[in-house]
Structure 1
Amino acid sequence: MNQRTPRRSLFAALAALAASALAYLQPARAHAGDAEACFTASEEGQRLRDEGQLREARARFISCGSAACPALVRSDCAGWLSDVTARLPTLILSAEDEQGQDVADVQVTVDGAPLAARLDGKAVEVDPGEHVLRFERAGSAPVALRLVVREGEKLRRISTRLVRSATPGGAAGAPREDRAASSPASALLLPIALGGVAAAGSVAYAALGLSARADADRLRTTCAPRCAEADVDAVRTKIVGANIAFGIGVAALGGAVAALLLRRADPAAPAAAAAVHVVPLPGGAAAALGARF
């Protein structure tokens, strides 16, 4: 019994030493595995960034920027993450029903992949490039929008109108192709342009009218009734010009109001094309507004 005791003690000491060594090596192996994963995420993030897949690249840079990664890798990934975040475009999606009311229970996909399960007014991120957005709502015909998203473009507004499906039960058929309404400002280009013409016409009317009145008063006090014909014609020309400017201003103002009313009545309608026609008449002018909708 006494001879076996030293052997048992030796075996116990060796077992304890082996256990200690294994416990020491396991964290080292785990740490090496974490470092390798960090380097892999860093390399994949750079590749995805260069391919334009900024959303996936950002996820990789977040991974290799964690506290478990080496300091040098964390520093590089943090810089790349900031750059990719600044370049990543965002969209604000919205949809209306047939009455022009906002609807939220709409699902949106981008190139067939889920993008938004519901329209909550928050910005969503997409990669730069050409995409197809598909809006779907129960009971409505799906709508597909084609658009090109630019790198670094932030908070671009994309809206569409959903109409009731013509198929029984509201089954989703082929999507209606629609243009991307990037910004409400695009619908105001015509009213703004016509408003500018109206303002310019008013200024020209006032300037020419005041100048003609001043010249007429000067002729009355200096040479009337035997003033030179050229001086009288100059006054008449200014009066005609003032009348033409007034007619253009009134016609443009009416066109701007009409365009605003038409866009409000049907925001999905194509932009109206308008033209102002002015016909000089003896002692003045006649103006008319033509429009194609």
Structure 2
Amino acid sequence: MNQRTARRSLVAAALAALACLQPARARAGDVEACFTASEEGQRLRDEGRLREARARFIACGAAACPALVRSDCAGWLADVTARVPTLILSAEDDQGQDAADVRVTLDGAPLAARLDGKAVEVDPGEHVLRFERAGSDPVALRLVVREGEKLRRVSARLAPPATARAGAATPGGGVTAPREDQAASPPASSLLLPIALGGVAAAGGVAYAALGLSARADADRLRATCAPRCAEADVDAVRTKVIAANVAFGVGVAALGGAVAALLLRGPMPAAPAAAAVHVVPLPGGAAAALGARF
């Protein structure tokens, strides 16, 4: 064998050795990747990022990975797959009809380009679903998704923008302004005056009855015992009760009339509150009452 032939043999042997070493190096890299995917999958699973964890467990369960790693990853993959929640998303328009041209985001990230009735996978935890459709106000729903929750139905009701709902389109293409002739309900404070006057009327009626009966009883007693020579003080006492009873009667009638007037004048239109006053003037043998009001 000459020198040239020997050199060729050495080169051929080196190339053969390199060819044998290359698969070994590739296999070593695959094994390292398997262990890395296994560790990352366990970490993501513990953080609740189940969808990402599932992808790692699929990688470490490949045929190129060692048998022990494949076995562990296969078990973890089955567990994570069972724990991944799924949602069925739907939306309705303002007429109650199903809407398919709706885009949905999950915590700001795209989740569904349109609604096709198929279940979508999400990670467990608290999320914000946002439904968006052209010509409608977006709807945001906050919900807590639980591990292992499957086929949970989540629906949104979409409505036209608020500016479109403010007025209805007319046949001529215009917009009908909201009605302004509907009065608001009167406040509860407008009932205070009628209630107060009603209470005064009731008190006046009770006082009139009590004083009148007492004065009548005293007068009957005087007629039976000393009339017509009764003491002036006793006669004045009976007369005072009669006057007081008449005054109470007048006040009660005036208050009752004021309560009725206040109820009739209570209206929804904004206006200065009516001022009502009751004037009672004692007169010999009775009293005069008058109701005055300022509008």
Interval containing the TM-score (normalised by the shorter chain): 0.5 to 0.7
2:141 aligns to what? 145
Cα distance in 1 between the residues matched to 2:31 and 2:162: 58
Percent identity of equivalent pairs: 81
Aligned to 2:95: 99
- Structure 2 unaligned spans of 5+: 165-295
* 2:234 alignment partner in structure 1: none
Q: TM-score, normalised by structure 1?
A: 0.54
Distance across 2 between alignment mates of 1:135 and 1:151: 23
1:68-217 paired onto structure 2 within 5 Å? 68-166=64-162
Paired residue for 1:66, among 44, 62, 65?
A: 62
| Deviation of the 1:29 alpha carbon | 0.7
Partner of 2:50: 54
* CA deviation vs aligned residue, 1:23-49 (integer Å, no higher than 9, x gap): 111111111111110100000000000
Question: Does 1:30 pair with 2:26?
Answer: yes
Secondary structure of the equivalent of 1:132? strand
Measure, in 2, the Cα distance between the counterparts of 1:136 and 1:63: 35
Partner Cα distance (1:38, 1:108) in 2: 35
RMSD value, Cα: 1.4
Match of 1:44 in 2: 40
Structure 2: distance between partners of 1:104 and 1:64:
38
TM-score (norm 2): 0.54
Instruction: Name the SS for the 2:89 alignment partner.
Output: strand
Please give the per-residue CA displacement for 1:61-111, whole angstroms capped at 9, x wherever unaligned: 011111121111111000000001111111000001111111111111111
SS at match of 1:45: helix
Query: Residue 16 of structure 1 is aligned with which of 12, 16, 22?
Result: 12
Distance across 1 between alignment mates of 2:4 and 2:158:
83
Deviation at 1:166, TM superposition (A): 4.6
Determine the structure 2 residue equivalent to 1:266.
Answer: none
- Cα deviation, residue 137, structure 1: 1.4
Q: After superposition, what is the alpha-carbon deviation per residue over 1:132-189, rounded to whole angstroms, capped at 9, x for unaligned?
A: 0111112222111100001111100000011223579xxxxxxxxxxxxxxxxxxxxx
Distance (Å, rounded) in 2 between the aligned partners of 1:159 and 1:132: 13
Moved more, 29-38 or 138-147: 138-147
Amino acid at match of 2:146: R
Distance in 1 of aligned mates of 2:163 and 2:108: 22
Partners of 1:138 and 1:63 lie apart in 2 by: 40
CA distance in 2, matches of 1:110, 1:62: 24
CA displacement, residues 107-138 of structure 1 (integer Å, 9 cap, x when unaligned):
11111111111111111111111000111112
Give, in whole Å, the separation in 1 of the partners of 2:14 and 2:71. Answer: 38
Unaligned runs of 5+ in 1: 169-293
SS at the partner of 1:145?
strand
Give, in whole Å, the separation in 1 of the partners of 2:134 and 2:11: 68
Q: 1:167–1:40: structure 2 CA closer, same or farther, 3 Å change rule?
A: farther
Larger radius of gyration: 2
Aligned length: 164
Whole-angstrom distance in 1 between the partners of 2:7 and 2:103:
68
Partner-residue secondary structure (3-state), 2:2: helix
